[in-house]
Structure 1
Amino acid sequence: MQDSFDDRPETRWRFFTDGVMGGVSSGQVTFLSEGGRRIARLSGEVSTANNGGFIQMRRALSDVPPGAEGVRLVVRGNGERYFVHLRTEAMYLPWQHYRAGFVAGPDWGEVRLPFASFSAQGRPLSATPAPETLTALGIVAYGADYTAALDIREVALY
């Protein structure tokens, strides 16, 4: 899987907030052209008020390449911490996921998150995700009160 936001990315990526469970975070994902390339911009206000604390863009995964070892992103941001959430076919509760974090600085840079660096959130889950069971990938501003401003040029499994 490699996504560089060409060819109607709005049909693959969904945006949602903690409002689905009573939170008050707000934001959006927009798809823009910059320098002849397409990018996704995740932006908004993350608020932990009312038991909230996230905004997310997520896409379904299918046909994960055999031997995949992790997630690769090309990103820039405002120096805040962001996360990748992975879901697998064994997950049935909405809060279950595997999570790994990264900081996005002001210049474009590559982030590599090996599957071994993801931690299980929710029970009962194995310690790390099995690539062949992945069903969704989310890019998330999460867990603290802050302004999210993250640009993503590419998302891939490596």
Structure 2
Amino acid sequence: MIKNITSRLGLIIIMVLFSSSTLNGDELILENFDKGSENRWDFFSDQVMGGISTGKLYFQKEDELNFINLVGDVSTENQGGFIQARSKLTETIKKDIEGIVINAKGNNTTYYIHLRTTGTLLPWQYYQAEFSVTSNWQEIKIPLISFKRSGNFLRKKVKPASITSIGLVAYGRNHKANLSVASIRFY
């Protein structure tokens, strides 16, 4: 019996230590793009619905900073207009959060974060907030109240416990995308 309890306790400790989300003070770290992050992120474009936007994800390191780099050409032809990097959350957010903090840089333009929840059943449903980047690394805080629903059938506000994925998105206009993100945290 003691051996069984010890085995279970060891398994719980391992799960906590190797979880991709950890608490840091009052923040919940979602991603710091460490080893293995390429297995947690997927690339999507409007080509899934007939669009012609193209792009790629790169996982890079600059000095001691790991980051994801979303690059591509966004085109609104054929009713398209997006490329995105998306990651599913590995666990439910069990605490109240006020927003998201990202460490990002890019090509001096506007990008978006898309949140999907247990209530976003259709592929075109999400909650969206915009942010702008410069060519220098900067921390950007995005309050949850800034996220707008993509349609009237969704709940008006995002409930933290219902978030299932997060997307980094170049969207809505013809442009060259070049967005780098080194960390994503909930605060």
* TM-score in terms of structure 1 length: 0.97
Gaps of 5+ in 1: none
CA contact (8 A) 2:92 2:162 kept: no
1:150 is matched with: 179
CA contact (8 A) 1:39 1:151 kept: yes
Residue 5, structure 1, aligned to residue 40, structure 2: no
Tell me, in whole angstroms, the C-alpha distance in 1 between the residues paired with 2:115 and 2:163. Answer: 7
Residue 50, structure 1, aligned to residue 73, structure 2: no
Q: CA deviation at 1:65?
A: 4.2
1:121 is matched with: 150
CA contact (8 A) 1:57 1:140 kept: yes
What residue identity is the alignment partner of 2:169?
A: V
Residue 138, structure 1, aligned to residue 182, structure 2: no
Greater share of helix: 2
Tell me, in whole angstroms, the C-alpha distance in 2 between the residues paired with 1:131 and 1:121. Answer: 17
User: Equivalences for 1:1-158 in 2 at 5 Å?
Assistant: 1=21, 2=29, 3-61=31-89, 62-158=91-187
CA contact (8 A) 2:33 2:183 kept: yes
Tell me, in whole angstroms, the C-alpha distance in 2 between the residues paired with 1:101 and 1:22. Answer: 24
> Aligned with 1:122: secondary structure?
coil
CA contact (8 A) 2:125 2:151 kept: yes
What residue identity is the alignment partner of 1:86?
A: L
Q: CA deviation at 1:63?
A: 2.6
**Stretch deviating more after TM superposition (22-31 or 63-72):** 63-72
The count of corresponding residues between Structure 1 and Structure 2 is 158
CA contact (8 A) 1:78 1:104 kept: yes
**Which gives a bigger RCO, structure 1 or 2 (Cα 8 Å, sep 6+)?**
1
Aligned-pair identity in percent equals 39
Greater share of strand: 1
